[in-house]
Structure formats: C-alpha cells, structure tokens
Amino acid sequence: MEKKDFLYQGKAKCIYKTDDPDVFLVEYRDDATAYNGAKKGTITGKGSLNNQISTYFFELLQNKGIPTHYVEYTGLNEMLVKSLDIIAVEVVVRNIAAGSLARRLGMEEGTVLPGPVVEYYYKSDELGDPLINDDHIKIAGLASKDEMQYIKETALKINDILIQDLNAKNLDLVDYKLEFGRHKSEILLGDEISPDTCRFWDKDTREKLDKDRFRRDMGSVEDAYIEVRRRLTGK
Ligand code: UDP
C-alpha cells in the first residue's frame, strides 16, 4: 500500500492517504502535549512504542469481536487503518478515580469505583473538550441515540476485555479515552490505545506507567512506555 498525500496532523499522529480511498496510514510521532496543548514536549521513542502498544490492543479487541479501524502494522511508527468520519465525542471509561474525576468529585486519587463510569467530552480544541451528556450530544447533532447506545455498550465490552487482559500483566486500567467513527454503515473504534490515552498503574506498587509521568514531570517517561510494551508483548 503506497503512502500518498498528507491529510491531517493531530497532536501526536499524522494521517496520510493511501492508494485505497478506504484506507489511511497513521504515523505515530514522538510529540507529546498535555493540558489541551498548553504543555508541549517530546518523548523519545514514543511514536513507535504507542504504535506497537496500540497494535497489541487493536488485535486483542478484534480477536474478541470488537470492530476497530485497525488494518495492519506496517512499520515501527506506522499502521494502516480504515478511513473514519470521526464522531466528535471522546468516550472516557473509568475504573479507579484519577485526574479530572478525582478533582470534580473531590475523591482521593486511587479510590476504586464500585463499577465502571462512562463519560463523554465534546472533542473541540476551541472549547477545551467540555464534559457533555447524552442530551448535549443530541442537540449538537454529534451522534444519534442508536449510535450512542452502541458506543456505550461497546465501550463497556472493551472495558471488560482490557481489564481481564491487563490483570494478567499485573496492570490496573485506571481510566482511558476512546474515539469512534463511521466507516460505510459501521461504527468502528478508532484513534489509539496507548499510555498517551490510558492510565496504567502497576497493581502492586501503583507506580504510574503512562502519560501522567509527562503531565506531572515525574521523569522516566520513556521507561514507563517501554515497561508497558514489555508486559503486553514480552518484547
Ligand atoms: N484522555 C485523553 N485525551 C484527552 C483527555 C483525556 O487521552 O484529551 C485520557 C487520559 O489519558 C486519561 C483519561 O482520558 O486516561 C481521563 O482523563 P481525565 O479526564 O482525568 O483528564 P486529565 O486530568 O488527565 O486531564
């Protein structure tokens, strides 16, 4: 598959067209941002680590019957994906209180939640990704009721699959963000699943193995991503 015109640059990935109009090429970069782009930096090796970690998760989910945009791993920093019309709703699933949930509800970070919490954020840099609900999604025309029902059910299925897999790797899945998009008549899981978009904690020590190390200037960011890849893939 030939890499063709550049299509779009996000905060950590570039998207290119290919010779198949239904397939895009995603290039994962080392750039890191936090706090809606206010903090910027580079994490050496992050692009290829996130590509390999996302490949691991997309293959796991596809094998369990979750439709995703993932097509093929094509190189250290590159994967092929199905083209998506992205739904502008960021779906956050939480199992343990951290980040904005801990702040919003005044909960201590690390409190295990009685069951998974699903939240929606409007994917809009200008508005700073505000928290929204089903009614907001409806009035803004972001997705239909049926689409949101499918998305919530699928997010909870994904949660069960990921928790079970990560448990065996001695990792807690604290929270994470998913994006979905439309491809022909289907809704597919898109974007990436990586330490940039998930919080992973070591089950025993609760050591943070994710982008919080960058957000909070904790150091050893690259080592944490390498450790996640090692636990997932053995490499
Ligand atoms: N998240 C993300 N992109 C965003 C916002 C959040 O990938 O634009 C992920 C984040 O890494 C965490 C989860 O979603 O795993 C919940 O993030 P939270 O709302 O706690 O925001 P934070 O306090 O990290 O800004």
Whether 74 and 169 map to the same domain: the answer is: no
Residue 157 pLDDT exceeds 80: yes
Whether 47 and 104 map to the same domain: the answer is: no
Q: Kindly report the pTM of this predicted structure.
A: 0.98
Mean pLDDT of the chain: 97
Q: Is residue 133 within 8 Å of residue 120, measured between CB atoms?
A: yes
Whether 198 and 122 map to the same domain: the answer is: yes
What's the pLDDT score for residue 18?
Answer: 96
Instruction: Kindly give the distance from the C-alpha atom of residue 198 to the centroid of ligand 1, in angstroms, as a whole number.
Output: 7
Whether 27 and 74 map to the same domain: the answer is: yes
Name the residue at shortest CA distance from atom 24 of ligand 1. Answer: 99
Is residue 233 a part of any domain in this protein?
no
Is residue 231 a part of any domain in this protein?
no
Tell me how far apart the alpha carbons of residues 73 and 80 are, in angstroms, rounded to a whole number: 6
Q: Could you say which of 21, 52, 82 is where a domain stops? A: 82
Q: How confident is the model at residue 191 (pLDDT cuts 50, 70, 90)?
A: very high
Tell me the mean pLDDT in the region 180-199.
98
Q: Is residue 28 within 8 Å of residue 73, measured between CB atoms?
A: no
CB distance 67 to ligand 1 below 6 Å: no
Q: How many domains does the chain have?
A: 2
| CATH code of the domain containing 215 | 3.30.470.20
What's the pLDDT score for residue 2?
Answer: 76
Is residue 75 a part of any domain in this protein?
yes
Tell me the mean pLDDT in the region 109-114.
98
Whether 99 and 200 map to the same domain: the answer is: yes
Q: What range defines the domain where residue 93 resides?
A: 86-221
